[in-house]
Chains A and B, each alone.
Chain A
Amino acid sequence: MGDGWISRRNVLAALTAVSGWAQLPNTEPEFVCPMDRDVRSSTPGKCPRCGMKLVAGIPETREYFVEMKRDGPRLALLVRDPSSGKPVRDFEVMHERIFHLFVISQDLEVFAHVHPEFDPASAEFRIELQLPKPGMYRVLSDFYPHGGAPQLIAGTFMVPGVGFRIATAAPPPDLQPKRGENIDAELLLEPQRPLAGFKTIMFFRVSPVDGLEAYLGAMGHMMAASADLIDMMHLHPVYVTDDPGTAAKQIQFNIIFPREGMHRVWVQFQRAGVVNTVAFNVPVGALR
């Protein structure tokens, strides 16, 4: 049996602390996508949403530590196991990479989805980022340590400079259609005015459709962040369909915004080898 399988209920807790995945005895295995937890199957296979290999059992959440060092444009990230404190060197490939890093500036103007290189000697992931503005940058480290469950670990670094101050962005709503490098994207919301704590369906009407293809194993990637950069959510489409009556594809994401307030939503779609990143500002209300 592979990682995450056990045979005795009474050792479950101890083993899950090591494996990250647990299977109870005398039960039919259920296979779960490590990233899209609502995707389940009674048979092994791949997640239809993101392409990741389904894993049997219940994911056991343990937060790994990510230590960041910044030296000018050079950023180094070291992942530590929360149990042993040792650097992690073995990672599963997730969406064609072993490490995805999202970087967002406090004014929400800078957005990067990059893939730092692993340095086996130091166990660090390294990348150079040219960040033009002083201020606070929030990051989300997305990785899948071998023997654990997929991680989305938030972090923060500061870029010093003239005029440095921490400030929360207050962007106006922006739901207008966007033009990317080689696609057009229109956003339709259901409901039209999203409410915190309730499901919002976000339909992106993307055209032209010829050459539209998966980017890093999914037909789209979304990063939705509250304007204060406390909430940062990474999602993949649940459905991709032809848009009736138009020559567009309709790419659907489902999201529950946890809090009210403005959210900036970046989506990435690939067409003919070109990655398009477009952003919208979505106001989220509260039920009173």
Chain B
Amino acid sequence: MRGVLLLLAVPLFGHDVVTTKVTWTKEVSRLVDRRCATCHNGKTSFPLLDYAAARPWAKAIKEETGNRRMPPWQAVKGFGEFRDDAGLTQEEIELLSDWVEGGAPEGDPQWLLERKPATRKAAPRFGHRWRAETGGKVAAIRPDGFRPGASAQVVAELPDGGIVPLLWIYRFDPNSTRTYQYRVPVDLPAGTAIRVSPAEAGSVTLFRR
């Protein structure tokens, strides 16, 4: 009887079965340093810098990154090209979900690198608005008055009929709003119309510099 009880008790204290080759020491710690450490460093937000701190959050990491709530970048990749794009790539999301679903293993400590977590950069400031009457190069774009939770695409409709993707906001969170700086300024001639789709999602401000 004692043997039966012990057998029944094992799953309660057992670890998750590891079914992945993705590990904290090889891949995930590097991803966290690059993508998460500017906030999750124990100062700005709770720490995720080492395995002991991150492991209890594994399920939440999978869910938050998969649903694109974290990192709170909000701009969909490949719709406008921005400097210091903090959004995860599809492969990074897949890597994290593979790691978590595979049991979130630590891996061999010899693979752990000297840590160089990314640090937060000061956000550039933009004060000169772009105006459709004069046109010119757009250096940055900022969502304004977006409804919380709203998703919308912002495009520029050029006088020659061309349409340029400017920004795609996914599930707007006013606590994480920012100004997005283009990697290369976008030249929009006078007479360009800026459209937000759907229009009721909110509006944007464009900056020359």
Task: Check: B110 CB closer than 8 A to any chain A CB.
Answer: yes
Task: Say yes or no: is B20 at the interface (Cβ < 8 Å to chain A).
Answer: yes
Residue A197 at the chain B interface, CB threshold 8 Å = yes
Q: With A37-B22, A38-B98, A258-B97 in contact, is A61–B114 under 8 Å at CB?
A: no
**Shortest Cβ gap from A216 to chain B (Å):** 19
On whether the beta carbons of B110 and A157 are closer than 8 Å, the reply is no
B110 interface neighbour in A27, A156, A158, Cβ under 8 Å: A27
From A65, A152, A166, A228, name the one whose CB has the most chain B CB atoms within 10 angstroms. Answer: A166
Verify A155–B78 contact, CB threshold 8 A.
Answer: yes
Which residues from 161 to 214 on chain A have a C-beta closer than 8 Å to any C-beta of chain B? 164-166, 196-199
Which of these, A9, A154, A158, A228, contacts B114 with CB under 8 Å?
A: A9
Instruction: Give the chain B neighbours of A152 by CB distance below 8 A.
Output: 89-91
Within 8 Å by CB of B90, from A9, A37, A166, A232, lies A232
Tell whether B26 is near chain A: CB-to-CB under 8 Å.
yes
Stretch binding the partner chain, chosen from B36-44, B138-146, B160-168 = B160-168
CB pair A233 B110 closer than 8 Å: no
Given the complex of chains A and B, what is the CA–CA distance between A67 and B81 in angstroms?
A: 9
Contact A158:B67 (CB < 8 A) given known A61-B31, A61-B89: no
CA distance A10 to B114 in the complex (A): 8
Name the distance in Å between B152's Cβ and chain A's nearest Cβ: 9
CB-based contact B66/A158 at 8 Å: no
B170 sits at the interface (CB 8 A): yes
Is the CB of B93 closer than 8 A to any CB of chain A?
Answer: yes
Asked if B129 is an interface residue, CB under 8 A from chain A, the answer is no
Nearest opposing residue in chain A for B80, CB measure: A156
Q: How far is the CA of A60 from the CA of B98 in the complex (A)?
A: 17
B71 CB, nearest partner CB in chain A, Å: 14
Asked whether, in the complex, the Cβ of B31 is within 8 Å of the Cβ of A197, the reply is: no
Contact with B along A118-155 (1 / 0, CB 8 A): 00000000000000000010110000000000001111
**What mask results when residues 159 to 188 of chain B are scored 1 for a CB within 8 Å of chain A, else 0?**
001111100101000000000000110000
In the complex, are the beta carbons of A197 and B62 less than 8 A apart?
yes
Q: How far is the CB of B137 from chain A (nearest CB, A)?
A: 16
Interface residues of A in 21-64 (CB under 8 A from B): 24, 26-27, 37-38, 40, 58-61, 63
Q: A13-B116, A258-B97 are in contact. List 7 more A-B contacts (CB 8 A).
A: A67-B184, A160-B163, A166-B155, A197-B101, A230-B68, A258-B67, A259-B67
Closest 9 CB pairs of A and B: A154-B78, A258-B66, A158-B163, A155-B78, A256-B97, A166-B197, A156-B165, A156-B79, A154-B77
Residues of A within 8 A of B (CB): 9-10, 12-13, 24, 26-27, 37-38, 40, 58-61, 63, 65, 67, 136, 138-139, 152-158, 160, 164-166, 196-199, 228, 230-233, 256, 258-259
5 contacts between A and B (CB under 8 A): A13-B116, A37-B21, A199-B101, A256-B94, A258-B94
